[in-house]
Amino acid sequence: MSQSDDIIGREAGQAGSTRYSRRLSDKILIAFHHACDQADFEVAEQLLAVLEMMLTRRPLTPDGTRRRNMESLVAAHERLWHLRHPVTHDQ
């Protein structure tokens, strides 16, 4: 067995599960929140655009998570808007 075969085998895990445990859209949402935490709003906006494109195109399989995904997308848009438009209290 070659070294690359060994690495692939370890990434697949003992039960032969895929090496990617999260959906790509979940990873993009995590990256979006990380960009927001770093105050990199330009990157956050671009990640949000990619996420929106992924979630609004026709789903390949109806798995019942579309509503939850759309709610997460709306919440992400709201977070970015609030970060870009902070409330200021004049005294």
User: Does residue 37 surpass a pLDDT of 70?
Assistant: yes
pLDDT tens-digit series, residues 15-32: 445 677 888 999 999 999
Which residues are within 8 A (CB) of 47 and not within 5 positions of it... i.e. 6 or more apart?
28, 31, 32, 35
Burial of 79 (0-12, 13-18, 19+ CB in 10 A): middle
pTM listed for this prediction:
0.68
pLDDT tens-digit series, residues 42-90: 999 999 999 999 988 876 566 677 788 889 999 999 999 999 999 887 6
Cα distance between residue 39 and residue 42, in whole Å: 9
What pLDDT is recorded for position 17? 57
